[in-house]
């Protein structure tokens, strides 16, 4: 059993939390989605959907109530015992729970195919969940304007289409001053202005400049001499 770290950003302003997710070779790709679904399914709506209503949603609610009542009676509850509405809501939320992925830093070749993404509740708007200001702020720091509703997870991976690997993303990484955020912001800004090719070219030039050794001693004198000869 292997593990990796991901950071939970609660929408209610509670402290961010570094969490550990376990996986096997068979579950490596889908393990984070399942981890997120468990959290997102527990998030209830703030308005419609808690009580009465009409239409397909209420029909589903009545069906869930009936099934839950039948299950509790089999466990010894007396007929007519009211069902727990919180449990009903959680069961409804878990039905068809989807996770949306917001790619903050694309896993491009120049980034060694390492990407960072936000994992958010795909039904956050329908559930009328609160706006996650910190998740929105992190996306904005990466050059993206998105509205995140409900809790969010941030995670890192390496994926080159042939190999897939989960990588740790810790609390120190969840900062607007982190190096990957600056890189993501530059990439997203240039992708929006001149296409992905321009963004990749800029990252390529930056990477080459970072690896270029500084000239010292006789190497510097030689370059100055060559420049003087050309003039």
Over residues 7-18, the pLDDT tens digits come to: 999 999 999 999
Question: Which carries the bigger pLDDT value, residue 220 or residue 40?
Answer: 40
Tell me the average pLDDT across 150-174: 96
Contact (Cβ atoms closer than 8 angstroms) between residue 117 and residue 66? no
Which pLDDT score is estimated for 156? 98
| More confidently predicted of 178 and 55 | 178
Pick from 77-81, 103-107, 226-230: least confident: 226-230
Among 40-44, 149-153, 209-213, which range has the highest average pLDDT? 149-153
Compute the distance between CA of residue 11 and CA of residue 197 in angstroms, rounded to an integer: 35
What number is the average pLDDT over the span 29-37? 95
Separation CA 129–CA 123 (nearest Å): 9
What's the pLDDT at 92? 74
Would you state the pLDDT for residue 149? 95
Measured between alpha carbons, how far is 67 from 173 in angstroms, rounded to an integer?
44
Q: Count of H helices and E strands in the chain? A: 6, 6
pTM attached to this predicted model = 0.67
Give yes or no for a contact between 116 and 155, defined as CB atoms under 8 angstroms apart.
yes
The answer to whether the CB of 15 falls within 8 A of the CB of 7 is no
Looking at residue 5, its pLDDT comes to: 98
> For residue 137, what are the contacts with CB-CB under 8 A and spacing of at least 6?
176
CA nearest neighbour of 9 among 115, 142, 155, 124: 155
Evaluate whether 80 touches 45 at the Cβ level (below 8 Å). no
Query: What does pLDDT average to over the chain?
Result: 82
For 88, the domain range is 1-231
Average pLDDT over residues 192-218: 53
What is the total count of domains within the chain?
A: 1
Distance CA 208, CA 192 (A): 23
* Tens digits of residue pLDDT in 89-131: 888 766 667 899 999 999 988 789 999 999 999 888 877 899 9
The band of 28, judged by pLDDT with boundaries at 50, 70 and 90, is very high
The C-alpha atoms of residue 126 and residue 122 are separated, in whole angstroms, by 9
């Amino acid at each position: 059993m292997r593990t990796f770290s991901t950071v939970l950003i609660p929408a209610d302003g509670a402290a961010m939390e570094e969490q550990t997710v376990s996986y096997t070779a068979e579950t490596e790709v889908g393990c984070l989605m399942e981890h997120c679904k468990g959290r997102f399914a527990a998030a209830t709506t703030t308005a419609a959907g808690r009580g009465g209503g009409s239409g397909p949603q209420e029909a589903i609610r009545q069906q869930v109530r009936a099934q839950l009542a039948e299950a509790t009676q089999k466990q010894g509850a007396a007929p007519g015992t009211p069902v727990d509405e919180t449990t009903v809501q959680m069961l409804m939320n878990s039905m068809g729970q989807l996770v949306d992925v917001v790619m903050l830093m694309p896993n491009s070749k120049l980034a060694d195919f390492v990407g960072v993404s936000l994992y958010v509740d795909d039904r956050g708007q329908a559930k009328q969940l609160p706006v996650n200001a910190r998740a929105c702020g992190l996306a904005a720091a990466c050059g993206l304007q998105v509205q995140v509703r409900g809790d969010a997870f941030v995670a890192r991976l390496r994926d080159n289409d042939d190999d897939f690997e989960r990588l740790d993303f810790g609390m120190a990484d969840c900062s607007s001053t982190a190096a990957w955020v600056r890189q993501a912001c530059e990439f997203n800004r240039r992708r929006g202005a001149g296409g992905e090719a321009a963004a990749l070219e800029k990252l390529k030039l930056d990477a080459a400049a970072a690896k270029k050794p500084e000239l010292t001693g006789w190497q510097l004198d030689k370059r100055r001499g060559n420049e003087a000869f050309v003039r």
